[in-house]
Amino acid sequence: MSYDFTAADVIAKVREIASASPDFVYHSPKAPVCVNVAKTADGQWVGSCIVGQAVVALGVPAKEIWDKVWDAFSAEALLRHLGVSASGLQDAWLLRVQARQDSQVPWAEAITAADQAFPEIANAAGAGMSYDFTAVDVIAKIRELAAAQPDFVYGQIPCVNVEADDAGNWVGSCIVGRAVIALGIPADDVAERAWKSGAAILLTQFEIPFTLEQQNWIEYVQEYQDNSVPWRLAVAESEINCPTISGLSDAEINALRKQLAES
- The 8-class DSSP code of residue 175 comes to H
> Is residue 105 one of the residues assigned to a domain?
yes
Tens-of-pLDDT digits for all 263 residues of the chain? Answer: 667 888 888 999 999 999 999 999 999 888 788 899 999 999 999 999 999 999 999 999 999 999 999 989 999 999 999 988 888 888 999 999 999 999 999 999 999 999 888 887 877 665 555 677 889 999 999 999 999 999 999 977 788 999 999 999 999 999 999 999 999 999 998 998 888 888 888 887 787 878 888 989 999 999 999 999 999 999 999 999 999 999 989 999 998 888 888 77
In a domain, 130, yes or no: no
Strands 162-164 and 170-172, bridge-based pairing: antiparallel
Q: Are residues 103 and 216 in the same domain?
A: no
- How big is the chain, counted in residues? 263
Q: How far apart are CA 131 and CA 148, in angstroms?
A: 24
Does residue 198 sit within a domain? yes
Number of domains in the chain: 2
Same domain, 121 and 139: no
Domain residues for the domain of 100 are 7-125
Same domain, 119 and 142: no
Sign of CA dihedral 159, 160, 161, 165: negative
Residue 258 CB: number of other CB atoms within 10 A?
10
Answer yes or no: do 143 and 120 share one domain: no
Q: Are residues 117 and 139 in the same domain?
A: no
Domain-ending residue, one of 93, 125, 157: 125
Same-domain pairing of 200 and 121: no
Per-residue pLDDT of 47-71, as tens digits, reads 999 999 999 999 999 999 999 999 8
